Amino acid sequence: MVFNETFAPVAKLSSLRMLLTLAAIHNWEIDQMDVVTNFLNPEVDGDVYMAMPDGVEAPAGGPWVCKLRKSLYGLKQAPRLWYEHIDNFFRSLGLFRSEYDPNVYISAAGLIPLILLLYVDDILLFSQSAQRVSQLKKLLHAEYKMTDLGPIHQFLGLEIERDCQNQILYVHQSRYIDNVLATFGLSECNGHWTPQPTSNRLQRLDDTGKALDENGKQKYQSIIGSLNWLMQETRPDIAFTVSMLSKFLSAPSSEHLAAATYTLHYLRNTSDLAIQYSTKRRPEQPTEQRPEQPTEWPIGFTDSDFAGDQDDRKSTSGYVFTLGNGTISWHAHKQPLVAFSTVEAEYIGASDATKEAIWISSLFTRLLSLDAYPLEIFVDNQGAIQLAKNPKFHKHAKHIGVRYHFV
């Protein structure tokens, strides 16, 4: 019984970007399919009743209700029932679910890998073999009413362009940016070349600040929501800015709205920027002697400021992971505690990056059936590096929470 479950099958965006990178590097086929009326397929696994629909005459002696035998749109548990239904179907085809992303399925049979990514009712098929993709499409058509969208061009608002001959794939959101600018009346505005001025030091609203009225507050929240979706999908360059501006959502001022508008002006100048996924060897690094690294392997970078928040003096840290020539995962967030030094701030940031690195490495090796290999994370603070390698500075580090020693 999943009456109280509202889970919907949504793949991680980092998984999607990793698969797009691998498709560009290995020249895989990428085909897209859509399940028509997906929530109407599964049967309800409990007693659920609904009122008689309008226009349906009930027999005499009512009142009457309808007992649902199949799921309906609007039913709270419909997404969970749908996921259970299609998961059972995929398993019956010999696809096994990745333990690192439950919406990524990998073929357990055949020498040529076939990978399937599920995002509610949207399905992406990845394989070197067009024949295997075609075979799976036929099986999907036999089970569900499907729309075959062919080679991928758009997915979740992403615009995807491929140059198969040169093994390059571009991902951008130019149309989405144009729509956002048009929504806020900035289609013809002058552009900026940085997300925020370097001198910008925003603070929470105080007694001297000018609070926005309800309309201004809603506009600010709408801008940040639009920027946040853009940042999560294709724009790591505004991750720090979105993290900073999000702190003022509950009580924004006119100064905060001006800063958010400044970022929209930046998008006006950079709407055509795209992430390029292609093969590229990692430049030689003066690192310790180790076995030869595979040609394409994820690499991480992390950095932190120190006491950058003007209100509570907490630090902001972030990381970015690349594969081949493109960025596959990024994050920027304010740390939950006050760091005592730059070493501590960088050390905490490196610990958060390490958690992401383990997940990326695990999914990557599973997708390509590779042996595990160390994933490098580059940190630009020697004190943090030494503390991570040899935690011997007990007098200076004994106050650091256990969870941050995870690195």
Q: Are residues 213 and 296 in the same domain?
A: no
The answer to whether residues 126 and 38 belong to one domain is: yes
| pTM for this predicted structure | 0.89
Per-residue pLDDT at 295 exceeds 70 = no
Q: What is the share, in percent, of the chain residues with pLDDT greater than 90?
A: 62
Residue 125 and residue 80 share a domain: yes
Judge whether 264 lies within some domain: yes
Q: Considering only CA atoms, which of 9, 117, 14, 11 is closest in space to residue 361? A: 14
Is residue 32 domain-shared with residue 101, that is, in the same domain? yes
Identify whether 378 is part of a domain.
Answer: yes
Q: Is the dihedral of CA 283, 284, 290, 292 positive or negative?
A: positive
**pLDDT per residue as tens digits for the range 53-89:** 888 877 777 778 888 899 888 888 888 899 999 999 9
Q: Are 188 and 266 members of one domain?
A: yes
pLDDT tens profile 213-252: 999 999 999 999 999 999 999 999 999 999 999 999 999 9
Q: What are the pLDDT digits (tens) for 387-398?
A: 888 766 556 666
- Give me the domain span that covers residue 147: 13-156
The rounded distance, in Å, linking the Cα atoms of 208 and 213 is: 16
Task: Write the CB contacts of 5 (distance below 8 Å, at least 6 apart in sequence).
Answer: 77, 80
Structural domain ending residue among the three candidates 270, 296, 323: 270
Asked whether residue 205 falls in the same domain as residue 94, the answer is no
Report if residue 239 sits inside a domain.
yes
Is residue 163 in a domain?
no
User: Is the domain of 22 the same as that of 152?
Assistant: yes
pLDDT at residue 129 above 80? yes
**pLDDT tens digit string along 144-193?**
999 999 999 999 999 999 998 899 999 999 999 999 999 999 999 999 99
Q: Does residue 142 lie in a domain region?
A: yes
Token pair for 248: 């003022």
Give the residue from 270, 299, 324 where a domain finishes. 270
Query: Do residue 116 and residue 184 come from a single domain?
Result: no
- Domain harbouring 80, CATH code: 3.30.70
What gap in Å lies between CA 2 and CA 378, rounded to an integer?
44
Last residue of a domain, one of 230, 245, 270: 270
Closest CA to 264 of 209, 333, 353, 187: 187
For 328, what's the count of Cα atoms within 13 Å in the CB-facing half-sphere? 32
Q: Are 230 and 354 in the same domain?
A: no
Domain membership of residue 139 (yes or no) is yes
**Residue 211 is encoded by which pair of tokens?**
């609070």
**What is the C-alpha to C-alpha distance for residues 308 and 255, in angstroms, rounded to an integer?**
18
Do 319 and 349 meet the contact criterion of CB atoms below 8 Å apart? yes
The angle formed by the CA atoms of residues 396, 398 and 399, to the nearest 5 degrees, is 95
One-letter identity of residue 204: R
Q: Is residue 329 part of a domain?
A: yes
Number of domains in the chain: 3
Task: Tell me the C-alpha distance between 25 and 221, whole Å.
Answer: 39
Does residue 74 form part of some domain? yes
How far, in Å, CA of 266 to CA of 81, rounded?
43
CATH assignment at residue 344: 3.30.420
User: Could you tell me if 54 and 66 are in contact, meaning their C-beta atoms sit under 8 angstroms apart?
Assistant: no
Q: In this structure, are 28 and 147 located in the same domain?
A: yes
What is the structure's pLDDT at 282? 47
Chain-centroid distance, C-alpha 43: 31
Same domain as 226, residue 100 = no
In this structure, the answer to whether residues 87 and 150 fall within a common structural domain is yes
